[in-house]
Structure 1
Amino acid sequence: MIELGGKDEDEASIRKRIKLLSDSIWEGNGGQEDVNRWLENFTGKTDGIPEEVERLHAVHLLSHFTYFGLRELRELLKALYRDLFRYEVIQELRDKAGGSADPSLLQGAFDDALSRTRFLGVGNPAESGTHLLYYFRQENRLRKELFPNPYELLTTSREDGGFRIADPDVQRLVFIDDVVGTGRQAAEHNVAFINHLRDAAQLSAQVIEVWYLTLFADPRGMAKVRQLGFDHAAAVHELNASQVAFSEESHAYAAPPEGISREVAEAVARRYGGDLAPGNSMGYGDGGLMLGLHHNVPDHTLPIFWVQEAFVPWTPMFRRYPKEPNS
């Protein structure tokens, strides 16, 4: 991530830095024409703030947008597998082996544990958690058999019509997600399914662990996820106040150039965000993020960056592909 800002930075230098971001990190998003079209959205509607001041604050905010392209996304997925899954499983195996560090023993035990694991996306097949699985499998060189469709996990007993676990060898299910904001999506999509899995495992006389691993998480949302009955839940990176656009710790206003005010920028974002996403002017759940990923933009990100279909005309800077409302 390239850090921007400085007391001597004016609009021209900010634009120059945005071009650098566009060319090197944003995968071509944010070219001069894109920025100009986006800035044309700001037409002086904020009370007491002229159009040119709105646009100056908008372009400063844009220069602090954090974007993870495909290359960075693939590295994050490797880190998720290595740090949150492989290391965690190996540590469990070492504990069971009395603290043994014998590599041949641990590798054999890990290979067996992996063969008994199944990886799942969060939500339906059209959503981003599921979309990540392709890259996740590629980067970590995992067998396709470890990525079943959810309906393949359960089978119906001919004896009583109840659900059973289809594969008697499965011992661990791992849900993969990209961003946990409020934790609502994890709750809505997974609680009922987890309960079905637990019931089916009990009827099958199997012990199954259910994990939830994500790339990014708001600590509050992650706390909610941990209350949903998962045996293990973790994030590659837990977001902090410096990554929230208008918090007092925001990195965008740690050393702003002359004439840039956090309060003015927030007023502008709330004015236009209120039109674009009524009730969620700072993003869903008041997220206030400035975050985008190669495959999508979280709806916890400021709407002024990504909203396209709204009650008012708006040209987004980054595209978000909707899944379900308020997810």
Structure 2
Amino acid sequence: MNNEDFSSKMKDLILHSWDEEIKWSYLNEWINNFNGQVFDMEIEQQYARYILTKFIYFSKPMIREMLKSLYRDYFASPIKQEIRKLEKDPLDFISIKNKFEIELSKTKFIGIGNPSESGAHLLYYFRQVNKLKKDFFADLTSILLANGNDGDKIDYIIKDKNIERLVFFDDIVGSGSQIRCYLGDIIKKIRIHNPHIKILFFSLFSSSEGLILLNNENMFNGKAFTIYELDKTYRLFDDNSRFINSADSLELNKLKKMIKHYGDLLSPKFSFGWNNSQLLIAFSHNTPDNVPIVFWADMKNWKPAFKRFGKEY
């Protein structure tokens, strides 16, 4: 892809798809990171330009629309359908609305992880766009009573007896293993001591394997939902990758060698993204570490195209 074609395509993406949240200057600085360490510099930069045109970026307006869909399609509509089935008059919209409000009042939405992390951060926008009261949101420590002092002997009991539904939330699910480690034992004990509680999980994005793991009977038991499922075709170097067009004059092995070389210099653990995820996806609020590090590293000698704000432990 020559510079003129690239410039035209990227400017269209920035203006019409990315809502001008990514600056043209950032992309040019990123391309200049590739300085000929693997192949001729012009070849490397040609490959960098090509892969930028394949990147999927979700702007603030797009994320907000997805948060609306998540609430409408996986929370509000299913509950209203259940209410309607029990109504004498299924067209009595006032009665259905009132009963839905009662169900909503028995629900707590909970972000995964620390309140400062991205899952909890997005719940702020989730509340805004769906016009929900802040009383419907909580963290685990505020709703759970932990009885016991030692490991497996700790039991978790819901403090508020009016709560009947917990909805856990995160922005993106990779393998799902981190969520299982964080929540697996807690969910198990909540079910034992609070068998009436309905437990759900929502995310904006999830890998197919992560969704399968979370829908295991020992986790969310078929009640984990996502807006955007990322199957294997979203992996950059998968045999059926949607990012590589066989009609394009690009040698996949060269691209892979180039990304690995520069990625290893930045951090071998993230050369192709955490757990070899190989995703080409970023959001207005952050870039996940499932993306190859060459796209998001911000270091003295490396400029990011899609900056990542990492966790500080």
Q: TM-score, normalised by structure 1?
A: 0.84
Offset at residue 186 of structure 1 (A): 1.2
CA contact (8 A) 1:128 1:177 kept: yes
User: Alignment partner for residue 250 of structure 1, among 220, 241, 245?
Assistant: 241
Task: Evaluate the alpha carbon distance shift between residue 84 and residue 11 of structure 1 in structure 2; reply closer, same or farther with a 3 A threshold.
Answer: same
Task: Evaluate the alpha carbon distance shift between residue 163 and residue 224 of structure 1 in structure 2; reply closer, same or farther with a 3 A threshold.
Answer: closer
Task: Evaluate the alpha carbon distance shift between residue 106 and residue 300 of structure 1 in structure 2; reply closer, same or farther with a 3 A threshold.
Answer: same
Q: In the alignment, what sits opposite 1:26? A: 18
Q: In the alignment, what sits opposite 2:74? A: 84
What code does the residue aligned with 1:110 have? F
Task: Evaluate the alpha carbon distance shift between residue 279 and residue 91 of structure 1 in structure 2; reply closer, same or farther with a 3 A threshold.
Answer: same
Moved >6 Å (runs of 4+)? none
How far, CA to CA, are the matches of 2:25 and 2:130 in structure 1?
Answer: 38
The alignment of Structure 1 onto Structure 2 pairs a total of residues equal to 305
Q: In the alignment, what sits opposite 2:150? A: none
1:38 maps onto 2:38 in alignment: no
**1:228-267 aligned within 5 A:** 228-231=218-221, 232-254=223-245, 256-257=247-248, 259-267=249-257
CA contact (8 A) 2:21 2:284 kept: no
Q: In the alignment, what sits opposite 1:314? A: 302
User: Alignment partner for residue 198 of structure 1, among 191, 196, 201?
Assistant: 191
Higher relative contact order, chain-length normalized (CA < 8 Å, sep 6+): 1
Give the stretch that moved more between structures: 241-250 or 112-121: 241-250
How far, CA to CA, are the matches of 1:86 and 1:288 in structure 2?
Answer: 34
Q: In the alignment, what sits opposite 1:17? A: 9
Q: Counterpart of 2:269 in 1: which secondary structure? A: coil
Q: In the alignment, what sits opposite 2:60? A: 70
**CA RMSD of the aligned region, Å?**
2.5
CA contact (8 A) 2:180 2:219 kept: no
How far, CA to CA, are the matches of 1:241 and 1:99 in structure 2?
Answer: 46
**1:117-128 aligned within 5 A:** 117-128=107-118
Give the stretch that moved more between structures: 209-218 or 269-278: 269-278
Task: Evaluate the alpha carbon distance shift between residue 91 and residue 277 of structure 1 in structure 2; reply closer, same or farther with a 3 A threshold.
Answer: farther
Task: Evaluate the alpha carbon distance shift between residue 250 and residue 234 of structure 1 in structure 2; reply closer, same or farther with a 3 A threshold.
Answer: same
How far, CA to CA, are the matches of 2:254 and 2:88 in structure 1?
Answer: 59
Q: Counterpart of 2:194 in 1: which secondary structure? A: helix
Q: In the alignment, what sits opposite 1:282? A: 272
How far, CA to CA, are the matches of 2:198 and 2:109 in structure 1?
Answer: 12
Q: Counterpart of 1:131 in 2: which secondary structure? A: helix
- Runs of 5+ in structure 2 lacking a partner? 148-153
What code does the residue aligned with 1:41 have? N
Overall identity of the aligned pairs, in %: 31
Q: In the alignment, what sits opposite 1:184? A: 177
Q: In the alignment, what sits opposite 2:158? A: 165
Deviations 1:90-111 (A, max 9, x none): 2333455599464344323222
How far, CA to CA, are the matches of 1:96 and 1:235 in structure 2?
Answer: 28
CA contact (8 A) 1:201 1:208 kept: yes
CA contact (8 A) 2:156 2:186 kept: no
- Runs of 5+ in structure 1 lacking a partner? 1-8
CA contact (8 A) 1:243 1:289 kept: yes
What code does the residue aligned with 2:293 have? P
Task: Evaluate the alpha carbon distance shift between residue 32 and residue 119 of structure 1 in structure 2; reply closer, same or farther with a 3 A threshold.
Answer: closer
How far, CA to CA, are the matches of 1:298 and 1:98 in structure 2?
Answer: 48
How far, CA to CA, are the matches of 2:110 and 2:178 in structure 1?
Answer: 15
Offset at residue 15 of structure 1 (A): 2.0
How far, CA to CA, are the matches of 1:324 and 1:96 in structure 2?
Answer: 49
Offset at residue 315 of structure 1 (A): 1.1
